[in-house]
A = this chain, B = another copy of it.
Amino acid sequence: MTLLVVGTVALDSVETPFGKADSILGGSATYFSVSASYFSSVRLSAVVGEDFPDEHREIFENHKINTKGLVTLPGKTFHWKGSYGFDLNTANTLETHLNVLAGFNPKLTDEEASTPYVFLANIDPDIQLAVIDQLKAPKFVALDSMNFWIENKRDALEQAIRRVNMVVLNESEAREFTGYPSLVKAAREISRLGPEAVIIKQGEYGSISIFKDEIFSAPAYPMENVYDPTGAGDTFAGGVMGYIARREDVTSNILRQSMIVGSAMASYNVESFSLERLRKLDFNDVVRRYNEIKRITVFEDLQ
């Protein structure tokens, strides 16, 4: 099945305790689409500037990602500059230059609008709503967001949440949006707005979900070496939605599996800067790490 992602494609500057890199490929829709491409065919809707290099386009092409919706506008590509401290858990945003992103207003083609599985990556909730309005045959639509929109466009975000099947937020966003310190309560509260599934990402600790009132706790793969956590959440979401599109259904079992797939994909992504590791996987790598996550989480009944 086909999956559409609407989000950002960026040129990032990233500094971690292990090094720094400038003008590397980044953006929510980038990490998402490459991650999802291991499981389903992906259509990308995003915008770049005239400075966007061909070598980055090739990465999408190599993963057979449909880039007809990757619009080039006059000006520079969206640029994010950030750094990470010792524990690599928190990104410090140093600079954000929207550039061409400020004029992004996706007009879906008929083909795009008919995609059954849709992910609205972290982007202005008014754009998310405009995309939802254009969808012709949505089977399962999910969205991500961030603190900035919770604080500045809460009403639009809430409207968007009411119209999707799944919400994917990180824990600080879920707490801020609902006011509940308990992630279970926060997830239930978001679910009450409409979505049958809510996933709360917990960074290096994994994620938890509520699906039709049923809780699932997915571990992260315990990492020995994290080089660059940028894009881990989008890579996770790409694994989740890619797997859901592959299975063409959302049941409790499939959602659980999809979150483990997401953990596996995210664990590979953080092993190198940008998409250096993520773009060089094969399906066996995914299966291997999935099975490793299973091995490190199973336990017998109480005796």
Contact = CB atoms under 8 A, between A and B. Distances in A.
Interface string A218-232: 111011111000000
A99 interface: no
A300 B253 contact: yes
Contact of A216 (B208, B225, B286, B296): B296
Interface in A280-302: 286-287, 290-291, 294, 296-302
B181 A208 contact: no
B182 A226 contact: yes
Contacts of A299: 216, 218, 253, 256-257, 259-260, 294
Q: Which of A86, A88, A299 has the most CB of B within 10 A?
A: A299
A222 B205 contact: no
A163 interface: no
Contacts of A183: 222
B215 A296 contact: yes
Contacts of A220: 217
A191 to B, nearest CB: 13
Nearest to A289: B302
Contacts of A205: 202, 205-206
B223 A182 contact: yes
Given A205-B205, A219-B219, A185 B300 contact: no
Contacts of A291: 301-302
A224 B257 contact: no
A62 interface: no
A118 B16 CA distance: 42
Contacts of A247: 303
19 contacts: A87-B181, A181-B226, A182-B226, A184-B223, A184-B224, A205-B206, A206-B219, A215-B222, A216-B297, A216-B299, A217-B219, A217-B220, A219-B219, A219-B297, A256-B299, A257-B299, A257-B302, A294-B299, A297-B297
Interface of A: 17, 86-88, 175, 181-185, 202, 205-206, 208, 215-220, 222-226, 247, 253, 256-257, 259-261, 286-287, 290-291, 294, 296-303
